[in-house]
Amino acid sequence: MGWVVERSRQRGRRYTAVYRDTHGHLRSAGTFDTRREAERAAMRAEDRIHDGTWIDRRAGRVTFRAYAEEVWLPSRHLEVSTLAAYRSYLRRHFVPFFGEMKLAQITASNVQTWVRSALDQGLSPRSIAKYHVMLHSVFARAVRDRLIAFNPCESTELPKVVAKKARTLTPEEYSAVLAEIPVRFKPLVMTAIETGLRWGELVALRPRHVDFLRRTITVEETIVEVSRKDSPTGERLIVKPYPKDDESRTLRVSQGLLDVLAARIAELGLARDDLLFPSREVAGGHPLSRATFNTRHWRPAVERAGVDFPVRMHDLRHAHASWLLAGGADLKSVMERMGHAQIMTTQKYLHTLPEAQDAALAAFERIRSR
C-alpha cells in the first residue's frame, strides 16, 4: 500500500505521497501541506494500480514515431506483405503528421484533423478507413501499455465509403483481351482465368505443382512484391512458403490447360522447381513483376481489345468466381477453389455478370405468366 514521507522545510513540514507502480518502482503522487492529504493521494494512486486505470504519464511523453516504429510495429506478428504495408503507411501517412507529437498530447481532434488533411490530399474514403484501422491499433496498444488514458481514434468521424458496383469481364471480353496478349504470356493469362489464382500464387507456380495424371494444380507458395524501402529483407520479390491464409489448396483444371502448360515446360526445358512464368523465358528465371507485366503487357492488351472499362489482371480472379457461380457451381466449392476464409466473401460474386439481370427478369416473367 502507499505511504507518506515527511519532509522538513524552512516554511514548515511537507508530506509526500509515495506508492509503487505496476513494475514495483517508487512513484510520487504529489507533495501536500498535511499528512491527511498525502495519505489520501497515496490511497488514490494505489486504487488506480489495483483497478487497472493507472497511467504512466512520464512514458506518455514518448513521440508517436518512436512508439509506433520501436514498440508497436516490432510487437506485431505479421506476414511480410502486411509488415511492408504498415511500414509504408507509417512513412507516407502517419509520421509526417503525428511523428514528433507526444502520445499523451494527441487528441481526438488531432485525429479528426488528420482525416480532413488526408481527404484534402486526395486519399479516398476507403483508403482513409483502412489506414484509420491501423492508427486505432497503435493507440489501442498504447492504452494497454498504460501510456495514455484513452484511444483518440475511438470516436473519429470517417468519410462515407460509397460501394461501387463492380463490372465483371464477360467471356467475350476475355477472349478479346487474350487475343491481344503477347504469345509468351498467353499461358499465364489462361491459367489465371481457369484457376482464379491471386497474382502472387500464379507467378509462384512450378512444374512440380502440376499433376498431369490427376489433372490438378496445387497452390502452396506465393510471391510477395513490396517496395524495397519498406521490405523487411531488403528484397522486392519475396517467396513465401504458404499462400494467403496459410493453407494450400488443390484445383481441378481442364485437359486443354494442361496441354498448354506441358508444351511450355517442354519448350523452356523447365525443371521441377523452376518457375512456370519467370520474368524471362528461360529455365531458372526470376519471378515476374506484377508492375512490369501490367505496364508493358496487360494494360496495352486491354486497350487494344477495346474493352470499355478499366480491367486489372486481378479482375480475372473475380471473373473466374462469377463464371463458376453463373454456371451453377455451388458456393462451398467456389469458396474452396478461391481460397476464401469465409463464404460471405464468395457470395459477393453472385449475379455479377451483365446478363444476370436478364436471367432474373426471365424467371419473374415465367412465374407471372403461369
Mean pLDDT within 35-62? 71
Q: What is the pLDDT of residue 54?
A: 61
- Residue recorded with cell 499528512: 35
Mean pLDDT within 278-306? 90
Look at 1 and 295; give whichever has higher pLDDT.
295
User: Is 244 in contact with 222 (CB distance < 8 Å)?
Assistant: yes
Residue 31 bridge partners (DSSP): 16
Q: What is the pLDDT of residue 236?
A: 75
DSSP-assigned letter for residue 236? S
Query: All 3 cell numbers of residue 133?
Result: 484501422
Mean pLDDT within 314-327? 88
Residue 223 bridge partners (DSSP): 239
CB count in 10 Å sphere of residue 307: 19
Q: How many CA atoms lie within 13 A of 49 on its CB side?
A: 19
Q: For residue 334, what pLDDT band results from cuts at 50, 70 and 90? A: confident
Q: For residue 224, what pLDDT band results from cuts at 50, 70 and 90? A: confident
- Flag the least confident range among 143-157, 222-236, 254-268: 222-236
DSSP-assigned letter for residue 67? H
Q: Which residues contact 47 (CB under 8 A, 6 or more apart)?
A: none
Q: For residue 135, what pLDDT band results from cuts at 50, 70 and 90? A: very high
Per-residue buried b or exposed e for 50-75, using 16+ beta carbons within 10 Å of the residue's own CB = eeeebbbeeebebbbbebbbeebbee
**333 has pLDDT over 90:** no
Q: What is the pLDDT of residue 243?
A: 65
Calpha distance 254→220 (Å, rounded)? 20
Nearest to 312 by CA among 297, 327, 322: 297
Q: What is the pLDDT of residue 247?
A: 75
Per-residue buried b or exposed e for 331-358, using 16+ beta carbons within 10 Å of the residue's own CB = beebbebbbbeeeeebeebeebbeeeee
Mean pLDDT within 250-277? 94
| Residue at 7: amino acid letter | R
Query: All 3 cell numbers of residue 190?
Result: 489462361
Mean pLDDT within 303-327? 90
**226 has pLDDT over 70:** yes
- Flag the least confident range among 111-125, 136-150, 227-241: 227-241
Q: What is the pLDDT of residue 24?
A: 66
Q: For residue 162, what pLDDT band results from cuts at 50, 70 and 90? A: confident
Q: What's the mean pLDDT when you consider all of the chain?
A: 85
Strands 237-240 and 210-211: unpaired
User: Is 29 in contact with 48 (CB distance < 8 Å)?
Assistant: no
**235 has pLDDT over 80:** no
**358 has pLDDT over 70:** no
Calpha distance 88→90 (Å, rounded)? 5
Q: What is the pLDDT of residue 261?
A: 97
- Flag the least confident range among 121-130, 179-188, 214-223, 239-248: 239-248
Mean pLDDT within 288-302? 94
Calpha distance 119→210 (Å, rounded)? 47
SS3 label, residue 239: strand
Mean pLDDT within 4-21? 71
Most confident of 11-15, 294-298, 306-310: 294-298
Mean pLDDT within 216-223? 92
Q: What is the pLDDT of residue 368?
A: 66
**185 has pLDDT over 90:** yes
**10 has pLDDT over 60:** no
